[in-house]
Structure 1
Amino acid sequence: MQPNIQHSSKPVVESNRGFQVWWQMTRPHTLTAAFVPVLLGTALALKHGKIHFGLFFAMLIASLLIQAATNMFNEYFDFKRGLDTAQSVGIGGTIVRDGIKPKTVLNLAFGFYGIALLLGIYICANSSWWLAVVGLICMAVGYFYTGGPFPIAYTPFGEILSGFFMGMLIILIAFFIQTGTVSSTSILVSVPSMILVGMIMLSNNIRDLDGDKENGRKTVAILLGKKGAIYLLTGMFTFSFLWVLVLIITGVLPVWTALVILSAPKAMKATKGFFENTIPIKMAPAMKATAQTNTIFGFLLAIGIFIGHYL
C-alpha cells in the first residue's frame, strides 16, 4: 500500500531478476504472521496427545504460501491501481523497480494458492472436510484484501479481518487438525496473536496514511488520525501482554509464558518510532519493530507452552 504517484503502467526496468528480487516479492518480514500461529496452535495441542508432524508441516507450508500469495496480490493490484512507483517507500514495487511482469506476479500468486489447495486436501483427508470451507474462505480474504472492486484494505476492517484469519483462525486450525476439536484455551490463547497480526496491518496504514487518504481509503489510521492510531497500537500492545498475564494468573497458561515480556522492547521501539517520525521512509523501522514484536511474542509464548508441558 503505497502513496499514489502517477507512473507509466510499463515496468521501468527489465534486468535485476536474481533470487533476492523474487524473495523480496513475498515480503518475508510478514511471513512470520503465518508461521507463528501454526507453531502456537501445535504447541497447545501437545497436552492432548502426540503431534502429527505431517499435518504440522502441511499446515505450515500452506499458511506460508497463502501469506506470500496475498502479498503478491497486493503487489499486483497496487501496481494496477497506480499506487506503486520506482520511488515508493517499502519493499513493495517489484513490478516497477525490478521489471517483473505483472502477469508473472499474478500467476505466481495463483500458483501458490494451487499448491496450498493441494496441501489442504491432504489436511482435510486426515482431519475434517469442513476445513475445506474454512480454507477457501481464508484464500478468498487473501485475494480480496487488495483485489476486487471493494478491497478490504481500503476499509476500516483490514486489521480486524487480517488479525482474525491470519492470527486466531490459523491457531485454531493448527490445533484442530491435531486434536479434532477447538478448546476454550486455544481460543483464549489466540487472542494476542490476532491482535498483533492486526497491528502489523495498522503499522503499515500509519506509515501510508497520507497517501491512502489521497486515494480515498478509509482505514482505521485515517479515521483515527496518526496520533490516535499510534495510541491504539500502543494500547493493543499493552493489552496483549496483560492478556497473557491474566491467563497465567487464572492457570490457563504456565508461568513460563511470562517470557513474552522479553518482546516488550520491540513494542516500545515501534510506538516510539511512529511518534517521533512523520516521513514514511523514516517510519519503516517502526513497522519492522511491529512485525518483530509479533514474531518474538509468538515464539516466546510457544516456547513457554512447550516448557510448561515438559516440566
Structure 2
Amino acid sequence: MKSNLNLNTPEISPSQRKLWFAAIKPPMYTVAIIPITVGTAAAFWENNHFSSQIFWTFLLSAIFIIAWLNLSNDVFDSDTGIDKNKAHSVVNLTGNKSLVFALANVFLTLGILGIFLIAWWQKEVTVLGIILLCCALGYSYQGPPFRLGYQGLGEIICFFTFGPMAIEAAYYSQVQHFSYFVLIPGIIIGITTSIILFCSHFHQVEDDLAAGKKSPIVRLGTQLGSQVLTGVTIGIFSLIGIFIILGTIPPTTLLIFLSVPLAYQLVTHVAEFHDQPDRVNNCKFIAVNLHFVSGMLLALGLILPHLLPS
C-alpha cells in the first residue's frame, strides 16, 4: 500500500500535527502510568518498601505495551472498516498498515523484555505471567478472531486488565507476594479506566452501528449512557468513603476527593451534549484527566502515612 506520509516535506502543517497528536494519543498513556504508580504506592503503604529500579522498568514497559495496544488496535480497526472516517488513525495517516503493525510488535517486544528483566531480577515469573495474561486480554479486545470489543465487552476487559490485574502485578513486583488489599485501589482504577473507553463511544454511534459494533452506548443509547456514567462516577467516591470508614485504606486517601471538580465537569458535559457528536467527542479527554488526577491523588494518599510525622 502506498504511504501517505511524505518524508521529503520540510515541515508538517498545523492540521497534520493535530492529526498526528490525536493518532499517537499521548494522554492515553496515563492508563500505563496510573496502575503501576498506584500498585507501587499500595506496596509502599502496606510494606514500607520501594524499589526505584523495578518501578521505572515496569513503568517504561507498560508504556511500550500501551503503544502496542494503540497501534495494533488501529490496524485491527482498519480491517473492519470502522475507522474509514477516522482521519487520525495511524493507518490512515501513513497508508501503510504493515509498517504500523510491525512497529506495534516492536513495542510489544520491548515491553515484554522489560517485564522479563524484572522476572529475571526476582528469579520467578509471576509478574511476567500476569502481564502476559493482560496482553492476551488486550489483544482479545480488537484482535481477530475474538474482537470482544465489538460485542460490548471492552469496558469489562479494560476494568480487569488496567485495574486489579495491573495493580496486583505492580504490587507483586515490589514485594513478591499478593495482597487482598490491592483489590480496593484495583477496583477504583479499573472503574476510572473503563470510564475512558465508555466515553469514547458517545460520538461514534453511527460508525459503530455501521460496522456492527455493539458498544455499550449503541446498546443503551446516549441518554441512558450519560445517566449510567453519572451513577458510576458517583460510585467511585462513594466506594472510597466506604473503604475509609471500614478502615481498609488510610484516611489520607480522602485526597482523591480533590478530583471531584473533574468528575462534575465530565458528567455535566456528557449529560448536556450526549447526543451531539461534535460537542461530546472531547469527553474522553475529560475522562483521561479524571483518571490521571484521581489516580495520582490516590497514590499520594497511600504513601503519605509513611511520610508524615507520627
AA matched with 1:225: G
- Residue of 32, 37, 59 corresponding to 1:34: 32
Give structure 1 stretches of 5+ with no counterpart.
Answer: 1-8
- Residue 142 of structure 2 aligns to a residue in which SS? coil
Contact persistence 2:31–2:162 (CA under 8 A): yes
Contact persistence 1:171–1:190 (CA under 8 A): yes
Question: For residues 282 and 152 of structure 1, do their structure 2 counterparts lie closer, same or farther at Cα, with a shift above 3 Å needed?
Answer: same
- Residue of 103, 106, 110 corresponding to 1:108: 103
The total of aligned residue pairs comes to 299
After superposition, the CA RMSD in angstroms is 2.2
- Residue 104 of structure 1 aligns to a residue in which SS? helix
AA matched with 1:70: L
AA matched with 2:213: R
Displacement over 6 Å in runs of 4+: 16-19
Matches within 5 A, 1:143-182: 143-182=139-178
Residue in structure 2 matched with residue 212 of structure 1 by the alignment: 208
How far did residue 12 of structure 1 move? 5.0
Residue in structure 2 matched with residue 6 of structure 1 by the alignment: none
Contact persistence 2:138–2:157 (CA under 8 A): no
Residue in structure 1 matched with residue 187 of structure 2 by the alignment: 191
Residue in structure 1 matched with residue 137 of structure 2 by the alignment: 141
Residue in structure 1 matched with residue 79 of structure 2 by the alignment: 80
Partner Cα distance (1:142, 1:68) in 2: 12
Give structure 2 stretches of 5+ with no counterpart.
Answer: none
Contact persistence 1:14–1:100 (CA under 8 A): no
Residue in structure 2 matched with residue 120 of structure 1 by the alignment: 115
How far did residue 114 of structure 1 move? 0.5
Residue in structure 2 matched with residue 44 of structure 1 by the alignment: 42
1:25-79 CA-to-partner distances (Å, cap 9, x unmatched) read 4311211111011111111111413311111111111111111211111111222
- Residue 31 of structure 1 aligns to a residue in which SS? helix
Residue in structure 1 matched with residue 302 of structure 2 by the alignment: 305
- Residue 218 of structure 1 aligns to a residue in which SS? coil
Percent same amino acid among aligned pairs? 25
The worse-fitting range, judged by mean Cα deviation, of 232-241 and 251-260 is 251-260
Partner Cα distance (2:230, 2:20) in 1: 33
Partner Cα distance (2:223, 2:149) in 1: 20
Residue in structure 2 matched with residue 4 of structure 1 by the alignment: none
Contact persistence 1:33–1:167 (CA under 8 A): no
Partner Cα distance (1:252, 1:309) in 2: 16
Contact persistence 1:273–1:285 (CA under 8 A): no
How far did residue 210 of structure 1 move? 2.5
How far did residue 95 of structure 1 move? 2.6
Contact persistence 2:131–2:166 (CA under 8 A): no
Partner Cα distance (1:104, 1:30) in 2: 22
Contact persistence 2:159–2:193 (CA under 8 A): yes
Matches within 5 A, 1:215-294: 215-277=211-273, 278-294=275-291
Question: For residues 199 and 156 of structure 1, do their structure 2 counterparts lie closer, same or farther at Cα, with a shift above 3 Å needed?
Answer: same
How far did residue 279 of structure 1 move? 2.9
- Residue 208 of structure 1 aligns to a residue in which SS? helix
Partner Cα distance (1:184, 1:195) in 2: 18
Task: With the length of structure 1 as denominator, give the TM-score of the two structures.
Answer: 0.88
AA matched with 1:80: D
AA matched with 1:281: D
Partner Cα distance (1:11, 1:261) in 2: 47
Residue in structure 2 matched with residue 62 of structure 1 by the alignment: 61
